[in-house]
Amino acid sequence: MSEKNSLNSKGLIKLIIIILILNTVSILVVFFALSHRINNQERNILQILKLYSEINTGNQNHASEIELPESNYQTLGLTDAPVKMQIITDLECPHCQKLYDMLFPAIEDSYIKMGLVELSYDSFPLDRHPKAMPAASILYCADKQGEFWQVFKYLSENINEMDTDQMLSSVSEKFKMGEALKLCADDTKTEEAIRKRRQELSSAGIKGTPSIIVDGYKLNGIKGYNDIKSAINKKLQSKTKTVSLAEAERLLTEGFRAIDVRTEKEVAGGYIENSINIDILQYQSFIEGINKLDKTGKYLVYCKSGTRSSWAWHVMKAMGFEELVNMKAGFDGWVASGRSIKK
């Protein structure tokens, strides 16, 4: 009887051990499954937080690289401008109309007239907009007659007040294009060319309008003109020969002359000793003042923080100045570092 009880006890112990092993395995399986699920949830949460952050910041600094075929339309600005900018629009698109109001005349006054940006255009008419293709056809034909940007501005400002027939007759009359414009706009080859170009842009990565490309980067999450201006300024600064405060201070002791491109009001608050003040925002006066300088001299340009002085650097380089540097930290950086100023 005792031997039987012993066998029963051993069997019970084996059974208990098997049950414990199975429970342990089950717990481990559940643990790893939960761990995997938690990791996935964490990744999803991080992705959601990242997206939320981008939406709330307007994704202002985000740009995606894109390679587009060169525009065939007339460009606005100097062909050797340091920054190339392209806008792709549908003239009837409400967002494109807001972009137009945002850009013009600000982009011309601040960058194009200074020779800093060359602006090009491409048409991307959406089929859901009945005036888009007729407007694109008129622009296509106006470009053939060398009147692209004038017609672009006119249609952008007036398209909502005209039907398709009025657009054609109004442009023809206003810009004295006569029957040639109508024949070109009505030609089926014109629409074919526009659709072919739209397909090329779509294949390159353009999915909607408006699209803005600055030096090969498509700007995303734009909330206003300041976002576009920031992208242009960063490109200009990246192509500027800049020096640190310490290097600027050394160069000033070695024969470089400081050019302060801030406003008179800013200069009244202080300036670097022996600076020449020529305000870059008063562009014509700036050009006149710069032309009085010896182009063989050595110059250091500065402004408040380094942005406007990068504009001046590019303008002066285009005018033939060779020994030229930009103080990246600007006057604010100079003052913050404890360096001496004059008032």
Stretch 210-237: mean pLDDT: 95
User: What dihedral angle (degrees, nearest 10) is formed by the CA atoms of 164, 169, 173, 175?
Assistant: 40
State the Cα–Cα distance between residues 124 and 156, nearest whole angstrom. Answer: 14
130-189 tens-digit pLDDT: 999 999 999 999 999 999 999 999 999 999 999 999 999 999 999 999 999 999 999 999
State the Cα–Cα distance between residues 143 and 151, nearest whole angstrom. Answer: 9
* pLDDT of 31 strictly over 60: no
Average predicted confidence (pLDDT) for the chain:
89
| First vs last C-alpha separation in the chain | 113
Return phi, psi of residue 94, to 5°. Answer: -55, -40
Other CB atoms within a 10 A radius of the CB of residue 84 amount to: 19
Q: Are strands 117-123 and 83-89 parallel, antiparallel or unpaired?
A: parallel
Residue tagged 């925002």 (tokens): 281
Q: Which residues have C-beta within 8 Å of that of residue 134, sequence separation ≥ 6?
A: 164, 167, 168, 185
Q: What is the pLDDT of residue 7?
A: 46
Q: Which residues have C-beta within 8 Å of that of residue 142, sequence separation ≥ 6?
A: 148, 150, 151, 152, 171, 175, 177, 181
- Estimate the crossing angle of helix 148-158 against helix 94-103, to 10 degrees: 120
Tokens of 231: 């992208």
276-310 tens-digit pLDDT: 999 999 999 999 999 999 999 999 999 999 999 99
DSSP character at residue 77: S
Contact 132, 104 (CB under 8 A): no
- pTM (two decimals): 0.81
* pLDDT of 30 strictly over 90: no
In what side-by-side order are the strands of the sheet with 63-65?
63-65, 217-219, 211-214, 83-89, 117-123
Tokens of 186: 């009505």
Q: Which residue has the higher pLDDT, 15 or 130?
A: 130
Residues paired with 217 in a beta bridge: 65, 214
